[in-house]
Copies of this chain bind each other. A is one copy, B any other.
Protein backbone atom coordinates (compact mmCIF):
# COMPACT_ATOMS: atom_id res chain seq x y z
CA UNK A 1 0.00 0.00 0.00
CA UNK A 2 1.60 3.22 -1.13
CA UNK A 3 0.65 6.81 -1.68
CA UNK A 4 0.26 7.89 -5.28
CA UNK A 5 -0.37 11.38 -6.59
CA UNK A 6 -2.13 11.35 -9.94
CA UNK A 7 -2.66 14.25 -12.26
CA UNK A 8 -5.28 14.29 -15.00
CA UNK A 9 -5.05 17.01 -17.64
CA UNK A 10 -7.73 18.97 -19.41
CA UNK A 11 -8.40 16.41 -22.13
CA UNK A 12 -8.69 13.60 -19.57
CA UNK A 13 -11.44 15.51 -17.76
CA UNK A 14 -12.87 17.14 -20.88
CA UNK A 15 -16.43 15.88 -20.45
CA UNK A 16 -18.71 14.41 -17.79
CA UNK A 17 -18.16 11.00 -19.36
CA UNK A 18 -14.40 11.36 -19.09
CA UNK A 19 -14.60 12.61 -15.52
CA UNK A 20 -16.57 9.48 -14.68
CA UNK A 21 -13.86 7.42 -16.39
CA UNK A 22 -11.21 9.14 -14.25
CA UNK A 23 -13.28 8.27 -11.18
CA UNK A 24 -13.20 4.60 -12.25
CA UNK A 25 -9.45 4.76 -12.81
CA UNK A 26 -8.88 6.26 -9.37
CA UNK A 27 -11.10 3.60 -7.79
CA UNK A 28 -9.01 0.94 -9.58
CA UNK A 29 -5.92 2.22 -7.74
CA UNK A 30 -7.83 2.31 -4.45
CA UNK A 31 -8.75 -1.35 -4.99
CA UNK A 32 -5.09 -2.20 -5.43
CA UNK A 33 -4.60 -0.76 -1.96
CA UNK A 34 -3.15 2.62 -2.80
CA UNK A 35 -3.91 5.95 -1.18
CA UNK A 36 -4.67 8.37 -3.95
CA UNK A 37 -4.40 12.13 -4.19
CA UNK A 38 -5.72 13.44 -7.49
CA UNK A 39 -4.78 16.75 -9.10
CA UNK A 40 -6.96 17.93 -11.97
CA UNK A 41 -6.86 20.63 -14.60
CA UNK A 42 -9.78 22.60 -15.99
CA UNK A 43 -11.99 20.73 -18.46
CA UNK A 44 -10.47 21.17 -21.89
CA UNK A 45 -11.74 24.31 -23.55
CA UNK A 46 -12.75 25.88 -20.23
CA UNK A 47 -9.60 27.95 -19.74
CA UNK A 48 -9.94 29.26 -23.28
CA UNK A 49 -13.60 30.05 -22.69
CA UNK A 50 -12.71 32.04 -19.58
CA UNK A 51 -9.85 33.82 -21.34
CA UNK A 52 -12.30 34.65 -24.12
CA UNK A 53 -14.62 36.34 -21.61
CA UNK A 54 -11.78 38.46 -20.22
CA UNK A 55 -10.47 39.35 -23.68
CA UNK A 56 -13.96 40.38 -24.79
CA UNK A 57 -13.46 43.21 -22.28
CA UNK A 58 -9.81 44.06 -22.91
CA UNK A 59 -6.75 42.54 -24.48
CA UNK A 60 -4.83 43.34 -21.31
CA UNK A 61 -6.88 42.11 -18.35
CA UNK A 62 -5.50 42.87 -14.89
CA UNK A 63 -3.28 39.88 -14.01
CA UNK A 64 -4.66 39.56 -10.48
CA UNK A 65 -8.23 39.40 -11.74
CA UNK A 66 -7.33 37.06 -14.58
CA UNK A 67 -6.11 34.58 -11.98
CA UNK A 68 -9.35 34.91 -10.00
CA UNK A 69 -11.16 34.13 -13.24
CA UNK A 70 -9.01 31.24 -14.45
CA UNK A 71 -8.88 29.54 -11.04
CA UNK A 72 -12.59 28.72 -11.39
CA UNK A 73 -11.79 26.23 -14.16
CA UNK A 74 -10.08 23.70 -11.91
CA UNK A 75 -12.53 24.37 -9.10
CA UNK A 76 -15.33 23.09 -11.33
CA UNK A 77 -13.40 19.90 -12.09
CA UNK A 78 -12.52 19.03 -8.47
CA UNK A 79 -16.17 19.33 -7.48
CA UNK A 80 -17.37 17.19 -10.37
CA UNK A 81 -14.77 14.48 -9.79
CA UNK A 82 -15.67 14.29 -6.09
CA UNK A 83 -19.35 14.08 -6.98
CA UNK A 84 -18.52 11.19 -9.34
CA UNK A 85 -16.45 9.40 -6.68
CA UNK A 86 -19.06 9.88 -3.97
CA UNK A 87 -21.76 8.58 -6.30
CA UNK A 88 -19.77 5.34 -6.51
CA UNK A 89 -19.56 5.13 -2.73
CA UNK A 90 -15.96 6.36 -2.42
CA UNK A 91 -15.60 9.19 0.07
CA UNK A 92 -13.77 12.10 -1.48
CA UNK A 93 -12.97 15.70 -0.60
CA UNK A 94 -12.07 18.52 -2.94
CA UNK A 95 -9.64 21.32 -2.15
CA UNK A 96 -8.90 24.51 -4.06
CA UNK A 97 -5.33 25.78 -4.11
CA UNK A 98 -6.26 28.20 -1.37
CA UNK A 99 -7.88 25.52 0.80
CA UNK A 100 -5.00 23.06 0.66
CA UNK A 101 -2.81 26.06 1.20
CA UNK A 102 -0.56 25.98 -1.79
CA UNK A 103 1.41 29.07 -0.90
CA UNK A 104 2.97 30.84 -3.89
CA UNK A 105 4.77 34.08 -4.61
CA UNK A 106 2.71 36.96 -6.00
CA UNK A 107 3.69 36.76 -9.68
CA UNK A 108 0.14 36.58 -11.02
CA UNK A 109 -0.30 34.29 -14.05
CA UNK A 110 3.18 32.83 -13.47
CA UNK A 111 3.37 32.19 -9.75
CA UNK A 112 5.76 29.75 -8.12
CA UNK A 113 4.93 27.40 -5.28
CA UNK A 114 6.72 28.19 -2.02
CA UNK A 115 5.09 25.82 0.43
CA UNK A 116 2.31 23.27 0.80
CA UNK A 117 0.38 22.43 3.94
CA UNK A 118 0.08 18.62 3.84
CA UNK A 119 -1.36 17.86 7.28
CA UNK A 120 -4.96 18.15 6.15
CA UNK A 121 -4.40 15.67 3.38
CA UNK A 122 -2.70 13.03 5.50
CA UNK A 123 -5.64 13.12 7.88
CA UNK A 124 -8.09 12.72 5.01
CA UNK A 125 -6.17 9.81 3.52
CA UNK A 126 -6.05 8.10 6.89
CA UNK A 127 -9.82 8.48 7.08
CA UNK A 128 -10.02 6.55 3.79
CA UNK A 129 -10.82 9.46 1.54
CA UNK A 130 -9.66 10.26 -1.95
CA UNK A 131 -8.31 13.80 -1.93
CA UNK A 132 -8.91 15.88 -5.05
CA UNK A 133 -6.88 19.07 -5.44
CA UNK A 134 -7.26 21.86 -7.99
CA UNK A 135 -4.13 22.08 -10.06
CA UNK A 136 -2.57 25.22 -11.49
CA UNK A 137 -3.54 27.50 -8.63
CA UNK A 138 -2.43 28.73 -5.26
CA UNK A 139 -2.64 31.66 -2.91
CA UNK A 140 -0.04 34.27 -2.02
CA UNK A 141 0.82 35.46 1.47
CA UNK A 142 -1.79 38.23 1.24
CA UNK A 143 -4.53 35.76 0.37
CA UNK A 144 -4.69 36.66 -3.32
CA UNK A 145 -5.52 33.85 -5.73
CA UNK A 146 -2.61 33.05 -8.04
CA UNK A 147 -2.10 30.71 -10.97
CA UNK A 148 1.06 28.93 -11.96
CA UNK A 149 0.63 29.58 -15.66
CA UNK A 150 -0.54 27.14 -18.29
CA UNK A 151 0.35 23.54 -17.59
CA UNK A 152 0.93 24.39 -13.94
CA UNK A 153 -1.22 21.46 -12.82
CA UNK A 154 1.79 19.19 -13.38
CA UNK A 155 3.77 21.33 -10.99
CA UNK A 156 0.98 21.16 -8.43
CA UNK A 157 1.00 17.36 -8.66
CA UNK A 158 4.74 17.01 -8.24
CA UNK A 159 4.88 19.56 -5.43
CA UNK A 160 2.12 17.65 -3.63
CA UNK A 161 3.92 14.34 -4.22
CA UNK A 162 7.06 15.85 -2.71
CA UNK A 163 5.23 17.36 0.27
CA UNK A 164 3.37 14.10 0.92
CA UNK A 165 6.44 11.94 0.22
CA UNK A 166 4.44 9.97 -2.34
CA UNK A 167 5.84 6.80 -3.86
CA UNK A 168 5.15 8.02 -7.37
CA UNK A 169 3.67 10.97 -9.18
CA UNK A 170 1.69 9.86 -12.22
CA UNK A 171 0.89 12.34 -14.94
CA UNK A 172 -2.03 11.11 -17.03
CA UNK A 173 -2.20 12.77 -20.38
CA UNK A 174 -3.32 12.18 -23.94
CA UNK A 175 0.01 10.64 -24.95
CA UNK A 176 1.23 7.32 -23.62
CA UNK A 177 4.72 8.44 -22.69
CA UNK A 178 7.78 10.41 -23.69
CA UNK A 179 8.97 9.86 -27.24
CA UNK A 180 12.33 10.25 -28.91
CA UNK A 181 10.73 13.19 -30.68
CA UNK A 182 7.28 14.34 -31.78
CA UNK A 183 5.64 11.46 -33.71
CA UNK A 184 3.69 13.97 -35.76
CA UNK A 185 6.98 15.14 -37.24
CA UNK A 186 8.81 11.80 -37.27
CA UNK A 187 6.44 8.83 -37.58
CA UNK A 188 9.28 6.48 -36.53
CA UNK A 189 9.58 8.19 -33.14
CA UNK A 190 9.77 5.62 -30.32
CA UNK A 191 8.37 5.68 -26.78
CA UNK A 192 11.07 5.66 -24.08
CA UNK A 193 10.54 3.31 -21.10
CA UNK A 194 12.78 5.40 -18.91
CA UNK A 195 14.43 8.75 -19.10
CA UNK A 196 16.45 10.71 -16.55
CA UNK A 197 15.27 13.92 -14.92
CA UNK A 198 18.09 15.80 -16.60
CA UNK A 199 17.12 14.58 -20.03
CA UNK A 200 13.46 15.21 -19.38
CA UNK A 201 14.25 18.72 -18.25
CA UNK A 202 15.94 19.42 -21.54
CA UNK A 203 13.16 17.72 -23.47
CA UNK A 204 10.43 19.61 -21.65
CA UNK A 205 12.08 23.01 -21.71
CA UNK A 206 12.84 22.63 -25.36
CA UNK A 207 9.30 22.09 -26.33
CA UNK A 208 8.37 18.45 -26.03
CA UNK A 209 5.27 19.64 -24.21
CA UNK A 210 4.56 16.39 -22.42
CA UNK A 211 5.34 17.82 -19.04
CA UNK A 212 5.76 21.30 -17.72
CA UNK A 213 9.42 22.04 -17.02
CA UNK A 214 8.90 23.22 -13.47
CA UNK A 215 7.22 19.97 -12.54
CA UNK A 216 10.31 18.06 -13.69
CA UNK A 217 12.61 20.41 -11.77
CA UNK A 218 10.55 19.84 -8.66
CA UNK A 219 10.48 16.09 -9.21
CA UNK A 220 14.23 15.99 -9.66
CA UNK A 221 14.92 18.25 -6.70
CA UNK A 222 12.80 16.19 -4.31
CA UNK A 223 13.54 12.90 -6.06
CA UNK A 224 9.89 12.12 -6.80
CA UNK A 225 9.65 9.32 -9.39
CA UNK A 226 7.52 10.71 -12.16
CA UNK A 227 5.54 8.62 -14.61
CA UNK A 228 3.87 9.89 -17.78
CA UNK A 229 1.05 7.69 -18.98
CA UNK A 230 -2.12 7.71 -21.04
CA UNK A 231 -5.56 8.43 -19.59
CA UNK A 232 -7.18 6.48 -22.37
CA UNK A 233 -4.99 3.43 -22.97
CA UNK A 234 -3.48 0.91 -20.60
CA UNK A 235 0.30 0.87 -20.43
CA UNK A 236 3.34 1.60 -18.30
CA UNK A 237 4.18 4.92 -19.90
CA UNK A 238 7.58 6.47 -19.34
CA UNK A 239 9.22 6.56 -15.93
CA UNK A 240 11.40 9.55 -15.16
CA UNK A 241 13.94 8.98 -12.38
CA UNK A 242 17.56 9.60 -11.57
CA UNK A 243 20.03 8.01 -13.90
CA UNK A 244 20.73 4.44 -12.98
CA UNK A 245 23.82 2.31 -13.45
CA UNK A 246 22.86 0.99 -16.84
CA UNK A 247 25.15 3.13 -18.90
CA UNK A 248 26.15 0.18 -21.06
CA UNK A 249 22.79 0.11 -22.70
CA UNK A 250 22.26 3.79 -22.69
CA UNK A 251 22.08 5.47 -26.03
CA UNK A 252 24.14 8.53 -26.80
CA UNK A 253 21.08 10.54 -27.64
CA UNK A 254 17.74 9.95 -25.97
CA UNK A 255 15.61 12.30 -27.95
CA UNK A 256 15.20 15.33 -30.10
CA UNK A 257 13.31 18.27 -28.73
CA UNK A 258 12.23 21.26 -30.73
CA UNK A 259 10.38 24.47 -30.36
CA UNK A 260 8.67 26.39 -33.08
CA UNK A 261 7.73 29.58 -31.34
CA UNK A 262 11.15 31.10 -30.96
CA UNK A 263 12.29 34.62 -31.58
CA UNK A 264 15.91 35.70 -31.78
CA UNK A 265 17.13 39.15 -30.75
CA UNK A 266 20.61 40.55 -31.23
CA UNK A 267 22.17 43.73 -29.96
CA UNK A 268 25.29 44.55 -31.94
CA UNK A 269 28.32 46.65 -31.05
CA UNK A 270 27.74 47.14 -27.36
CA UNK A 271 30.74 48.80 -25.66
CA UNK A 272 32.08 45.88 -23.63
CA UNK A 273 32.00 46.92 -20.00
CA UNK A 274 31.41 44.82 -16.87
CA UNK A 275 27.73 44.45 -16.11
CA UNK A 276 26.63 44.86 -19.69
CA UNK A 277 24.81 41.49 -19.80
CA UNK A 278 22.83 42.44 -16.74
CA UNK A 279 21.98 45.83 -18.19
CA UNK A 280 20.63 44.14 -21.30
CA UNK A 281 18.75 41.26 -19.70
CA UNK A 282 17.70 42.89 -16.42
CA UNK A 283 14.88 45.00 -17.91
CA UNK A 284 13.73 42.01 -19.99
CA UNK A 285 13.53 39.77 -16.93
CA UNK A 286 11.79 42.53 -14.99
CA UNK A 287 8.94 42.22 -17.50
CA UNK A 288 8.68 38.52 -16.69
CA UNK A 289 9.90 37.53 -20.14
CA UNK A 290 11.69 34.22 -20.08
CA UNK A 291 14.97 34.34 -21.91
CA UNK A 292 16.11 31.01 -23.27
CA UNK A 293 19.43 30.74 -25.14
CA UNK A 294 22.04 33.42 -24.59
CA UNK A 295 25.19 33.78 -26.70
CA UNK A 296 27.78 36.50 -26.47
CA UNK A 297 30.59 37.10 -28.94
CA UNK A 298 33.40 39.57 -28.77
CA UNK A 299 33.05 41.92 -31.70
CA UNK A 300 35.41 44.56 -33.09
CA UNK A 301 36.81 47.65 -31.36
CA UNK A 302 36.17 46.59 -27.78
CA UNK A 303 32.50 46.03 -28.47
CA UNK A 304 30.50 42.89 -28.03
CA UNK A 305 27.52 41.25 -29.80
CA UNK A 306 24.85 39.76 -27.65
CA UNK A 307 22.17 37.37 -28.92
CA UNK A 308 19.33 35.70 -27.06
CA UNK A 309 16.02 33.98 -27.75
CA UNK A 310 12.60 34.50 -26.21
CA UNK A 311 9.16 33.02 -26.78
CA UNK A 312 7.57 34.51 -29.86
CA UNK A 313 4.77 36.07 -27.82
CA UNK A 314 7.32 38.16 -25.98
CA UNK A 315 9.11 39.27 -29.13
CA UNK A 316 7.53 42.71 -29.67
CA UNK A 317 7.84 43.67 -26.04
CA UNK A 318 11.45 42.48 -25.85
CA UNK A 319 12.39 44.32 -29.02
CA UNK A 320 10.97 47.53 -27.59
CA UNK A 321 12.93 47.16 -24.37
CA UNK A 322 16.07 46.24 -26.27
CA UNK A 323 15.84 49.33 -28.46
CA UNK A 324 15.63 51.51 -25.37
CA UNK A 325 18.57 49.71 -23.78
CA UNK A 326 20.59 49.96 -27.00
CA UNK A 327 20.41 53.75 -26.94
CA UNK A 328 21.36 53.89 -23.32
CA UNK A 329 24.32 51.55 -23.77
CA UNK A 330 25.51 53.19 -26.98
CA UNK A 331 25.11 50.01 -29.00
CA UNK A 332 25.41 50.06 -32.76
CA UNK A 333 22.27 48.23 -33.77
CA UNK A 334 19.45 45.91 -32.75
CA UNK A 335 18.34 43.02 -34.92
CA UNK A 336 15.46 40.65 -34.49
CA UNK A 337 13.96 37.64 -36.17
CA UNK A 338 10.77 36.01 -34.99
CA UNK A 339 10.63 33.31 -37.63
CA UNK A 340 13.09 30.94 -36.05
CA UNK A 341 12.91 27.51 -34.45
CA UNK A 342 15.13 25.54 -32.15
CA UNK A 343 16.18 21.91 -32.43
CA UNK A 344 18.00 20.13 -29.62
CA UNK A 345 19.67 16.77 -29.20
CA UNK A 346 19.29 15.52 -25.64
CA UNK A 347 20.99 12.62 -23.89
CA UNK A 348 22.94 11.91 -20.73
CA UNK A 349 25.05 9.56 -22.85
CA UNK A 350 26.45 12.57 -24.66
CA UNK A 351 28.51 13.51 -21.67
CA UNK A 352 31.14 10.91 -22.21
CA UNK A 353 31.23 10.96 -25.98
CA UNK A 354 32.85 13.42 -28.28
CA UNK A 355 31.85 13.88 -31.84
CA UNK A 356 28.12 14.21 -31.30
CA UNK A 357 28.10 17.88 -32.21
CA UNK A 358 29.98 17.40 -35.43
CA UNK A 359 27.72 14.53 -36.45
CA UNK A 360 24.74 16.78 -35.75
CA UNK A 361 26.07 19.70 -37.77
CA UNK A 362 26.99 17.39 -40.62
CA UNK A 363 23.46 15.92 -40.76
CA UNK A 364 21.96 19.40 -40.95
CA UNK A 365 24.47 20.59 -43.54
CA UNK A 366 23.68 17.59 -45.73
CA UNK A 367 20.10 18.84 -45.89
CA UNK A 368 21.26 22.38 -46.65
CA UNK A 369 20.04 23.76 -43.33
CA UNK A 370 21.85 26.88 -42.17
CA UNK A 371 22.56 27.06 -38.43
CA UNK A 372 21.89 30.55 -37.03
CA UNK A 373 22.92 30.06 -33.43
CA UNK A 374 24.43 27.26 -31.31
CA UNK A 375 24.32 26.62 -27.63
CA UNK A 376 25.50 23.55 -25.75
CA UNK A 377 25.33 22.03 -22.31
CA UNK A 378 26.64 18.78 -20.94
CA UNK A 379 23.65 16.78 -22.07
CA UNK A 380 22.26 18.74 -24.98
CA UNK A 381 23.17 20.62 -28.11
CA UNK A 382 20.73 23.19 -29.42
CA UNK A 383 20.70 24.97 -32.73
CA UNK A 384 18.49 27.76 -33.97
CA UNK A 385 17.42 27.51 -37.60
CA UNK A 386 14.93 29.23 -39.87
CA UNK A 387 11.50 28.03 -38.91
CA UNK A 388 10.82 26.55 -42.32
CA UNK A 389 13.59 23.98 -41.81
CA UNK A 390 12.25 22.69 -38.49
CA UNK A 391 10.60 19.43 -39.58
CA UNK A 392 13.30 18.59 -42.08
CA UNK A 393 15.99 19.11 -39.45
CA UNK A 394 14.26 17.00 -36.80
CA UNK A 395 13.73 14.12 -39.25
CA UNK A 396 17.33 14.28 -40.46
CA UNK A 397 18.66 14.11 -36.90
CA UNK A 398 16.28 11.34 -35.81
CA UNK A 399 17.60 9.27 -38.65
CA UNK A 400 21.24 10.22 -38.21
CA UNK A 401 21.17 9.05 -34.60
CA UNK A 402 19.03 5.94 -35.28
CA UNK A 403 16.46 6.90 -32.68
CA UNK A 404 13.83 4.63 -34.21
CA UNK A 405 15.73 1.59 -32.90
CA UNK A 406 15.61 0.44 -29.28
CA UNK A 407 18.77 1.19 -27.26
CA UNK A 408 21.24 -1.66 -27.03
CA UNK A 409 20.36 -2.90 -30.50
CA UNK A 410 21.99 -0.48 -32.89
CA UNK A 411 21.44 2.82 -31.15
CA UNK A 412 25.10 3.79 -31.37
CA UNK A 413 25.70 3.00 -34.94
Please tell me which one of the listed residues B56, B79, B94, B144 contacts residue A54 in the complex, with CB atoms under 8 A apart.
B79
Q: B50 near A76 (CB under 8 angstroms)?
A: yes
* Copies of this protein, total: 2
Kindly report which residue of chain B lies nearest to residue A101, judged by CB atoms. B143
Residues of B within 8 A of A183 (CB): none
Against B, the Cβ 8 Å flags (1 = close, 0 = not) of A45-62 are 000001001101110011
Identify the stretch in A66-74, A231-239, A293-301, A333-341 within 8 Å (CB) of chain B at 4 or more residues: A66-74
Kindly report which residue of chain B lies nearest to residue A56, judged by CB atoms. B16
**Bound CA span A69–B16, Å:** 14
Q: B68 near A54 (CB under 8 angstroms)?
A: no
Interface: A99 (CB within 8 A): yes
Number of interface residues of A (CB under 8 A): 37
Interface: A173 (CB within 8 A): no
A239-265 CB contacts (< 8 Å) to partner B: none
Residues of B within 8 A of A61 (CB): 83, 86-87
Q: A79 near B83 (CB under 8 angstroms)?
A: no
**Bound CA span A196–B252, Å:** 84
Q: B80 near A75 (CB under 8 angstroms)?
A: no
Q: A94 near B80 (CB under 8 angstroms)?
A: no
Interface: A78 (CB within 8 A): yes
**Bound CA span A96–B96, Å:** 13
Q: A80 near B54 (CB under 8 angstroms)?
A: yes
Interface: A195 (CB within 8 A): no
Interface: A404 (CB within 8 A): no
Q: B62 near A69 (CB under 8 angstroms)?
A: no
Interface: A19 (CB within 8 A): yes
Residues of B within 8 A of A124 (CB): none
Q: B80 near A76 (CB under 8 angstroms)?
A: no
Q: B53 near A65 (CB under 8 angstroms)?
A: no
Interface: A307 (CB within 8 A): no
**Bound CA span A290–B96, Å:** 31
State the Cβ distance, A101 to closest chain B Cβ, in Å.
9
**Bound CA span A57–B69, Å:** 25
Apart from A65-B79, A68-B96, 4 more pairs, CB < 8 Å = A16-B53, A16-B57, A66-B79, A71-B75
Q: Which 7 A-B pairs have the closest CB atoms?
A: A69-B79, A72-B72, A68-B79, A16-B56, A65-B82, A58-B87, A61-B83
